[in-house]
């Protein structure tokens, strides 16, 4: 027979805040590393789904913006990249897949990009809240760049499924660039991820998304849109956003 004390202890354990259990992957960087190492090898969808779930719980229960929590979030983001690339390839290479499979893959890919964008966006807003703090906080340029790229992917995957992008996505993207501009690091060259082959900056990442949107006529197949996205990576050196309009030099403007 279960005692009243045992029942109370069991109920208390259910109410324990996320991140306090010893077996929770987000308790610490060490715990998260061990958890990632135990994910099944060769099961891309299952592993991506597990990391997506962890990132979602991280964002839904996050009230502390510490360096340790940011380090955990960044590691989960980095570890998810190969898995995400695998699912993206599956989606783009199988245009004749069933509607159910297409929906499942799209929501998995989009869901991960959303949680990554959502998490970095929250950290950027928190760290740059005070005037002038953006230039003093070392991680802000990097996480702002990652956030801009993640929002760019969200807009791309809206286009891939012929969905309207939504005003909120654009507003958040514009605001992230504004933070980079006001913080003085919009052209700070850096590797967004350790496995990147070339450095990037917030300005080129922002302009990359704007140019992809210009190229999106609503008639491109998903694979064609992805190809344009890859081509734009070769044009980063030619992309530049100036403060003043020059009709002899500029082709597009943004308010």
How does pLDDT run across 151-204, given as a tens digit for each residue? 999 999 999 999 988 889 999 999 999 999 999 999 999 999 999 988 999 999
> What is the reported pLDDT for 137?
56
Residue 164 CA to chain centroid, in angstroms? Answer: 19
Q: How far apart are CA 146 and CA 139, in angstroms?
A: 11
**Residue 149's pLDDT band (boundaries 50, 70, 90)?**
very high
Question: Band of the pLDDT at 130, cuts 50, 70, 90?
Answer: low
Residue-level pLDDT at 12: 37
Report the Cα 224 to chain-centroid distance in Å.
22
Helix (H) or strand (E) run with residue 76 in it: helix 67-93
Question: Per residue in 228-246, pLDDT tens?
Answer: 999 988 877 778 787 778 7
Residue 147, pLDDT above cutoff 80: yes
Model pLDDT for residues 46-98, shown as the tens digit of each residue: 999 999 999 999 999 877 888 999 999 999 999 999 999 999 999 999 988 99
Distance CA 213, CA 42 (A): 35
Helix, strand, or coil (residue 31): helix
Q: Contact, 159 vs 165, CB < 8 A?
A: yes
Token pair, residue 191, equals 């590797």
Backbone torsions φ then ψ of 190, nearest 5 degrees: -160, 160
| DSSP 8-state code for residue 190 | B
Beta bridge partners of 200: 190
């Amino acid at each position: 027979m279960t005692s009243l004390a045992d029942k109370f202890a069991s109920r208390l354990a259910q109410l324990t805040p996320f991140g306090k259990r010893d077996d929770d992957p987000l308790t610490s960087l060490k715990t998260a590393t061990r958890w990632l190492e135990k994910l099944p090898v060769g099961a891309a969808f299952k592993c991506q789904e597990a990391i997506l779930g962890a990132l979602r719980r991280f964002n839904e229960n996050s009230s502390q913006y510490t360096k340790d929590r940011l380090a955990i979030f960044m590691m989960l983001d980095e570890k998810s990249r190969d898995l995400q690339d695998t699912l993206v390839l599956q989606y783009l290479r199988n245009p004749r897949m069933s509607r159910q499979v297409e929906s499942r893959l799209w929501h998995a890919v989009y869901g991960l990009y959303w949680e990554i964008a959502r998490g970095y966006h929250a950290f950027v807003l928190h760290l740059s809240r005070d005037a002038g703090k953006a230039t003093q906080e070392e991680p802000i340029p990097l996480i702002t760049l990652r956030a801009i790229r993640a929002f760019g992917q969200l807009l791309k995957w809206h286009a891939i499924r012929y969905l309207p992008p939504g005003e909120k996505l654009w507003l958040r993207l514009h605001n992230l660039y504004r933070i980079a501009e006001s913080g003085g690091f919009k052209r700070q060259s850096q590797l967004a991820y350790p496995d990147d082959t070339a450095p990037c900056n917030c300005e080129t990442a922002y302009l990359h998304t704007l140019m992809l949107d210009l190229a999106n006529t609503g008639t491109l197949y998903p694979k064609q849109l992805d190809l344009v996205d890859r081509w734009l990576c070769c044009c980063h050196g030619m992309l530049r956003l100036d403060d003043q309009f020059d009709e002899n030099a500029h082709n597009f403007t943004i308010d």
